[in-house]
């Protein structure tokens, strides 16, 4: 997929992995649309990189539809990346009682259903594109986590939501193969995102030291580089790529 001149949507693109991806796509010549709940950060980043911004909750079909429409308004939406997500830590049952069902449902709603919402609307828009020389109309990249495979104590909601993203990757790719649309998922390990930035430096160093190689936190730019590699390589389809420096998470 040729990125230069293509319409690209980054959901959850105002910070962290999404912001790095928006910058990388813009730097590669894509016409980027950032969709995020944080209008202040999203608008500032859009102004910085020459992108568009649409305020959107990924679970809101109308808002995501507006973002997809904006991204498709130029040469057509060709690249869609969903980085939006939330977390919650709680055991299945504990001294305070059972896991809060509302919180579990909310994590699944944002992470899994929100990702699917972006995927379905982006794929529908891509279906209207003229195919390129290889018959490709677009590529959708979802974001899971190594928690989908190595969920730790207290991560039952988060791991379930990310495991769902992994599980839908292959059937979604098969669904869209006839339209020349690829579907891929990246499962990052420990990355230097705003969530980890809140930790003391000593704790951040300790987390990085536990990664076999390179023994440091992943850089958001490395996630963004993987998005560009997926876009460029048409044989990458229906698969989840662990981006984790060979890390396998222990129970706690």
pLDDT, tens only, 135-185: 999 999 999 999 999 999 999 999 999 999 999 999 999 999 999 999 999
Q: Are 35 and 61 in contact (CB under 8 A)?
A: no
What mean pLDDT is predicted for residues 26-46?
Answer: 98
Which pLDDT does position 199 carry in this prediction?
72
* Percent share of the chain, pLDDT over 90: 92
Give catalytic status of residue 158 as yes or no. Answer: yes
Three-state secondary structure call for residue 95:
coil
pLDDT class of 1 with cuts at 50, 70, 90: confident
What mean pLDDT is predicted for residues 15-22?
Answer: 97
**Where are the chain's structural domains?**
7-243
Distance CA 55, CA 210 (A): 37
Q: Are 148 and 167 in contact (CB under 8 A)?
A: no
All residues at 6 or more sequence positions from 198 whose CB lies less than 8 Å from its CB, including other chains: none
Token pair listed for 138: 């677009």
What mean pLDDT is predicted for residues 120-145?
Answer: 97
pLDDT class of 105 with cuts at 50, 70, 90: very high
Q: Which fold has domain 7-243?
A: Rossmann fold (3.40.50)
Is the model's pLDDT at 247 over the cut of 90? yes
Which pLDDT does position 75 carry in this prediction?
81
CB-count burial class (<10 Å; 0-12, 13-18, 19+) for 222:
middle
Distance CA 100, CA 117 (A): 24
Q: Which of 53, 158, 191, 223 is catalytic?
A: 158
């Amino acid at each position: 997929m040729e990125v230069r001149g293509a319409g690209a949507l980054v959901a959850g693109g105002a910070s962290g992995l999404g912001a790095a991806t928006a910058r990388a796509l813009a730097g590669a010549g894509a016409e980027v649309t950032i969709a995020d709940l944080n209008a202040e950060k999203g608008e500032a980043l859009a102004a910085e990189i020459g992108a568009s911004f649409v305020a959107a909750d990924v679970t809101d079909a109308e808002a995501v539809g507006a973002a997809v429409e904006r991204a498709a308004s130029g040469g057509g939406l060709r690249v869609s990346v969903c980085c939006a997500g939330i977390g919650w830590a709680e055991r299945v049952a504990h001294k305070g009682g059972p896991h809060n069902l509302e919180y579990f449902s909310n994590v699944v709603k944002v992470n899994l259903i929100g990702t699917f919402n972006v995927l379905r609307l982006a794929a529908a828009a891509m279906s209207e594109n003229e195919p390129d020389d290889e018959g490709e109309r677009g590529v959708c990249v979802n974001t899971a986590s190594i928690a989908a495979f190595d969920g730790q104590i207290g991560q039952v909601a988060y791991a379930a939501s990310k495991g769902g993203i992994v599980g839908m990757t292959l059937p979604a790719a098969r669904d869209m193969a006839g339209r020349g649309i690829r579907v891929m998922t990246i499962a990052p390990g420990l990355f230097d995102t705003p969530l980890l930035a809140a930790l003391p430096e000593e704790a951040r160093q300790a987390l990085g030291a536990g990664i076999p190689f390179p023994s440091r936190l992943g850089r958001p730019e490395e996630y963004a580089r993987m998005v560009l590699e997926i876009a460029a390589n048409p044989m990458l389809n229906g698969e989840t790529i662990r981006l984790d420096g060979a890390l396998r998470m222990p129970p706690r």
